[in-house]
Structure 1
Amino acid sequence: MTLSTWLSLFTLCLMGAIFPGASLAVVLRNTLNHSRLHGAITGIAHAIGLGCYALLSVLGLVLVLQQSPLLFKTLSYFGAIYLLWLGYQGITATATPPAADMPNTPQPSATLWNAARDGLLIALLNPKVGLYFLAIFSPFINATMSLTDKAIFVSTITFVDGSWYVLVATALSQGNTLIWLKRHQQWIERALGCLLIVLALHIFLST
């Protein structure tokens, strides 16, 4: 893969990562509710999920989603149900104290696992990602790709997505930004919850 080709791939990945959606809402939610680490873990897990779809794309297996409407709908509906559940948690949540983001406060492993689960499932239960890869990244995928090019393709998508959300979690948990978010936490939680429910309903209606 030439440098110019890789830069084009990197740019497309960055544009896709920056575009707001359910993943950004969940990263924000976990950062606000728990800590910077929880938000970062959510983002990294989401990137791993995207990496799985990227791997399926270069192996040609993502075509199964295109050729199996039942599998596509099943994954989409499970994803919508998960978004509904997260949305319900958001609109019924109460504010938590900011102490959870103090550096000396131990992070509960169960909560970190939950953060990772959120990020991973948001990606894996969205089969449209696979079709998006086929449509947008088709110029980079062909039958003659070397093993090195396949590795670069998958790792670039994973790295860019994960790095973006780690940056988001870090920015949201800084000084005055975190204080403002904590002060308005309950309203932000409810707004994010409503957004996730709207996204879930959109999936139900469009699938």
Structure 2
Amino acid sequence: MAMRLGYVIDKKSCIGCHACAVACKVENNLPDGVWWNRILTEGGENRDTPKGTYPNLSMGNIAVSCQHCDNPACVKVCPVGATYKDEATGAVRQDYDKCIGCRMCMAACPYTGVRSFNWEEPVYAIGQDMGDVSVAKHQKHTVEKCTMCWHRLAQGLQPACIEVCPARVRYFGDFDDPDSEVSKLIREREYMQLLPDSGTSPSVYYLV
């Protein structure tokens, strides 16, 4: 049975610890300089700084990664089918072996910075692979992004970012199942989405 897997993130309760970003990097053996999941600060000009003047300060956090859109702009422009939507899960995936490095998907995606491009052979900080052995090998001249930890889904597990969140603000499930936790959350709580007018119908919802 087809699903529409996606995320709900409680933006109001996120503590900005970056545990999800680090877990993603390690689990997926990401090369130096590559982050598929980033925690951005809604505040001052620099990360983890508030806006305003003391004592009237405010700061928030927002986790940004591939939005795994239901109507992905990236899939429509890929000339070789390297960027594609998995019909069984709704996840937007990358096939590194097919990718020709044209970066059309990066240009079409309205969510700046959720993809990266390997200009050279990937380099790693500790000189050896980390994470799950099932992770696809990173390649030169290919586009990369969040995979929903596809290798973990195949084992019946949740994405690494979900399991490590100490504040338990990240949720993952099937939006096509009305009884799933994620479906209940967006029915019961006020939420926002990134660039809702882009027509991409993202599968990431932020509780506010």
When normalised by structure 2's length, the TM-score is 0.30
Q: Which has the higher contact order (CA 8 A, sep 6+)?
A: 1
When normalised by structure 1's length, the TM-score is 0.30
